[in-house]
Amino acid sequence: DAKTTQPTSMDCAEGRAANLPCNHSTISGNEYVYWYRQIHSQGPQYIIHGLKNNETNEMASLIITEDRKSSTLILPHATLRDTAVYYCIVSDTGRRALTFGSGTRLQVQP
């Protein structure tokens, strides 16, 4: 699986949009970009995934650059409950097992 690079930590004000970047410059054509988050002492929670088109669901939006070498996860209105470690993972669906990097620790401030 291609490797990803994420900032170690970020802060965001409550109610504002949180934009979490991820670089995946070695991504291959059949690999998807997945985002998960892990709230302290819980299992990871699926957020969103995409191949090349931008995606949106009830939790977040995923913006993938045209060359697919980077992406941004957007939480449109961050709340305190969004404080977590966010993992950007690149994988082809055939492999199924996901390799977790160190992620971005997002702290939403009141």
Partner 1 sequence: GAVVSQHPSWVICKSGTSVKIECRSLDFQATTMFWYRQFPKQSLMLMATSNEGSKATYEQGVEKDKFLINHASLTLSTLTVTSAHPEDSSFYICSATTTEGYTGELFFGEGSRLTVL
Give the closest residue to 85 by CA, choosing from 8, 27, 31, 3: 8
Cβ-Cβ contacts under 8 Å for 8 (sequence gap 6 or more): 102, 104, 105
Nearer to partner 1, 12 or 33 (CB): 33
> Which residue, 15 or 100, has its beta carbon nearer to partner 1?
100
Q: Shortest approach of partner 1 to residue 22 CB, angstroms?
A: 15
Q: Of the listed pieces 4-12, 61-69, 74-82, 97-105, which binds partner 1 according to CB under 8 A?
A: 97-105
Cα 100 to chain centroid distance, Å, stands at 11
Strand, coil or helix: what is 6? coil
Shortest spacing between CB 46 and partner 1, in angstroms: 4
Residue from 30, 79, 93, 109 that binds partner 1 (CB under 8 A)?
93
Q: Which of residues 12-71 bind partner 1 (CB under 8 A)?
A: 32, 34, 36, 38, 41-46, 49
Question: Rounded to an integer, what distance in angstroms lies between the CA atom of residue 94 and that of residue 14?
Answer: 38
Q: Does residue number 99 form part of the binding site for partner 1 (CB under 8 A)?
A: yes
DSSP assignment string, 54-68: -EE-SS-EEEE-TTS
